[in-house]
């Protein structure tokens, strides 16, 4: 009897863990599969997006990715970011494939280190042409044991188009994406920490 109970217990635990590994979190996420389009690029905690020094308003964004407890650094988490250029468009090149045809080539990929750190260099995006859409940088997250999902975009606190809804959002996915840029030499820098699973459906 003890062996039978033990076998049942092991089966239940294994089955539960298997379901947790395979469950879908975050809901629908159009274009999130672009996180796999880095090709043969070796992902590191730091990335420099194309045209970093060619476009105006260079910026550096860095931070720490934490587990759901908000204190444990999360390692080997892949982050995918993309955004518009200084004209508010997603710039294209003839050889772009997959989601690059929609996201443009101003995009990058990082993988957090043992301390959960990430950092990327790019240029400040502009609002979409003829619109009052806030400037933003899209970001997708991929944990090793879960599907990819999006978290709240990066927004800029000094953006004249930023809304109170964004500034005071009650349950931002992954934590608030609003950043404050500060001058540091020839670029502006900002920090944003991310909490995995925070306000993510079915997490």
Q: What is the pLDDT of residues 2-13, one digit of tens each?
A: 544 443 333 333
Cβ–Cβ under 8 Å, residues 71 and 62:
no
Confidence of residue 22 (pLDDT cuts 50, 70, 90): low
Tokens 């000094």, located at residue: 158
Task: Report the C-alpha gap between 87 and 192 in whole angstroms.
Answer: 25
The domain containing residue 182 runs over which residues? 2-195
Q: What is the pLDDT of residue 186?
A: 94
Q: What is the pLDDT of residue 70?
A: 98
Q: What residues contact 158, with CB distance under 8 A and at least 6 apart?
A: 180, 181
Residue 134 lies in a domain: yes
Residue 178 lies in a domain: yes
Residue 201 lies in a domain: no
Mean pLDDT score, 157-170: 97
Q: What is the pLDDT of residues 88-136, one digit of tens each?
A: 999 999 999 999 999 999 999 999 999 999 999 999 999 999 999 999 9
Q: In terms of pLDDT, which residue wins out, 20 or 129?
A: 129
Does residue 57 surpass a pLDDT of 70?
yes
Mean pLDDT score, 38-64: 97
Q: To the nearest whole percent, how much of the chain has pLDDT over 90?
A: 88
Residue 179 lies in a domain: yes
Mean pLDDT score, 38-60: 97
Mean pLDDT score, 144-150: 97
17-45 per-residue burial string, b: 16 or more CB within 10 A, e: under 16: eeeeeeeebbeebebbebbebbeeeeeeb
Confidence of residue 46 (pLDDT cuts 50, 70, 90): very high
From residue 136, alpha-carbon distances to 28, 68, 86, 133, 156 in Å are 20, 24, 12, 9, 7
Q: Three-state DSSP class for 11?
A: helix
Task: Report the C-alpha gap between 17 and 38 in whole angstroms.
Answer: 29
Residue 203 lies in a domain: no
- CATH of residue 144's domain is 2.60.130.10
Q: What is the pLDDT of residue 23?
A: 72
Least trusted range by pLDDT, from 20-34, 54-68, 177-191: 20-34
Residue 138 lies in a domain: yes
Task: Report the C-alpha gap between 197 and 203 in whole angstroms.
Answer: 6
Q: What mean pLDDT is reported for the chain?
A: 91
Residue 88 lies in a domain: yes
Instruction: Give the total number of structural domains in the chain.
Output: 1
* Predicted TM-score of the model (pTM): 0.89
The DSSP-derived string for 142-196 is: E-TTS--EE-PPEEETT-TT--HHHHT-SS-TTS--EE--EEETTEEEEE--EET
Residue 202 lies in a domain: no
């Amino acid at each position: 009897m003890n062996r039978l109970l033990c076998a049942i217990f092991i089966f239940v635990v294994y089955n539960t863990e298997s379901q947790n590994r395979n469950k879908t979190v975050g809901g629908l996420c159009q274009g999130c599969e672009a996180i796999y389009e880095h090709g043969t690029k070796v992902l590191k905690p730091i990335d420099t997006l194309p045209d970093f020094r060619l476009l105006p308003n260079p910026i550096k964004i860095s931070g720490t990715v934490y587990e759901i407890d908000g204190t444990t650094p999360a390692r080997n988490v892949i982050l995918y970011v993309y955004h518009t250029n200084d004209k508010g468009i997603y710039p294209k090149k003839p050889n772009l494939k997959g989601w690059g045809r929609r996201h443009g080539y101003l995009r990058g990929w990082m993988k957090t280190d043992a301390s959960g750190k990430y950092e990327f260099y790019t240029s400040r995006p502009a609002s979409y042409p003829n619109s009052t859409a806030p400037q933003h940088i899209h970001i997708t997250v991929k944990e090793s044991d879960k599907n990819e999902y999006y978290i709240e975009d990066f927004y800029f606190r000094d953006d004249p188009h930023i809304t109170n809804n964004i500034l005071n959002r009650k349950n931002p996915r992954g934590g608030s994406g609003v950043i404050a840029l500060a001058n540091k030499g020839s670029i502006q820098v900002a920090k944003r920490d991310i909490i995995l699973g925070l306000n993510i459906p079915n997490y």
